[in-house]
Structure 1
Amino acid sequence: MKNFEVLTEALAYIEQNLEEEFTQQDVANACYVSLSGLQKLFRYAVHFSVGEYISKRRLTHAARLLCSTERSVTEIALQFQYHSPEVFARAFSRLWGVNPSVFRSSRRFTDLYPRLLLNQTGGTDMPNQRFDISELYDFLGSRQDCYIICFDTVRLMETNDTYGREAGDLLIRTSLERIEQEQGENMLLVRVGGDEYALVTDIRQPQEAEQLMQRVLAHNGEPVHFRQGLELPLSLRGGLTKFEGDCMKYSELFDQIKHTINQSRR
């Protein structure tokens, strides 16, 4: 089975079983590959181990339930195969920086680790990956003439290489928190790439969208506490793109957002 097919099958199996009990070996068996081989593919293409990806997806779904339902923390913990609310709370706090109860009362953004989608690149080469932005696409179905503000985290890969992915994850989470602080009631915040984010606004005037973007960027250079007294610098770049209510294909919307982000990097 080619790398693309193996990873597609693995991601689908994980997504279908997030609320079920299964092992990493079960994922490998479903793809007819060895666990060590699957781990190598994940490390190379996804940049996480199989176990890390499963955990991040479960905790992302759990965050959404915390904010959208009245279900107890214990019920949600058991639903996603955590054997006690204490184990769940520790895992949740490591990912989100706060415990589940605080998160429920203070946060709106929940899709920290969206589902990964793969693109076939031909042959047995590793596939390209992108995040699922179907929620953004569906949300825009009710919008006309609004601005999308696109952001990316500066030098995230450098942080990953120097301090490890735990530091990079912290910068991603803090980047999203800065954007969320300026997010209005009728806006949608989506993570569209590894270090890339889109805020769909209800703003129709470019000056107003620019002002919102600048409020987020005003925090550039403010350090983020990592560990052992280490402060990580964090800055974002931003750009505006206008959605005019056209019947746009999913891929066209993704490309428009990516183009705006790439323009902001120049």
Structure 2
Amino acid sequence: MYLINSNGEDMRNFYVLAAVLEYIEENICEDFTLQMVADHCAVSLSGLHKLFGYAFGYSIKDYIAKRRHSLACSDLINSKLSVLEIAVKYRYNSQEVFVRAFTRLRGITPSAYRNNPYLSNLFPKIELNNGGNDMRKVDISDMYDEIKKLRGSYVLCSDIVHFKQINDNFGFSVGDIVLAKTAQRIDSCIDDNMIFFRIGRDEFAVLTGFTDEGKAIELAKRITDLNSHELEINEHKVLLNLRVGVTKIPDQGLSYSEILNSMLDSIEKARSEKASYCVSY
């Protein structure tokens, strides 16, 4: 992991989200509570709700329901399971409950969907708005698949230097504009096919798709090269500086605790050596 003046909290949030998505995926057909998810990821339940809301704009309950629905759609097309068996598999209380929920989301019954899968394109998906200029969107139910597909590639995690002081000195209205300007700055530097979303109060993640470490670092530098530019907001001059960390999505699994420990070790090393860059594998 290369580090460009990052405090590690933004990367921690990314790995918490990755661990949440993986836990849900592994237990999607099981009966589990949100507290169990929080315990698995070593975060408080309230913190987990807040982080998930920042990143996706949806509650964890909504995500689980949407993900189960998405997988049920896949089973309707790609398996010979009956509608009842699919309802039981994805923890619906009854076939009737499943049919009602499915019809509410898709506008057609599961049986009609199975017989006419092309109709699925007529009904909008729940989308994740990343906040960028071109409003690139990702279906929230596909986030786990996207991260899994990008294993072995690099992620950029960034936050705003002294964001609390900006809010304290100039007010939250200015802070909100700074957040929007941050999203615009990052968005202006990344490619259209990259997934970009918020992972905390002032923290953002970019799934670059790069497997070349050098390209990921080059992109991080492109973003930080725009530092020290003053913004004039509501007659206030605000310095917008970003910290960007570059880390790799593991090829095998998303072990949050192991990755976090390695990441924090490398950050501590950078601090002790007063270095701008550090690397950890």
TM tier, smaller: 0.3 to 0.5
Query: Normalised by the size of structure 2, how large is the TM-score?
Result: 0.43
TM-score by structure 1 length?
0.46
- Larger RCO (alpha carbons 8 Å, 6+ apart): 2
The structure with more radius of gyration: 2
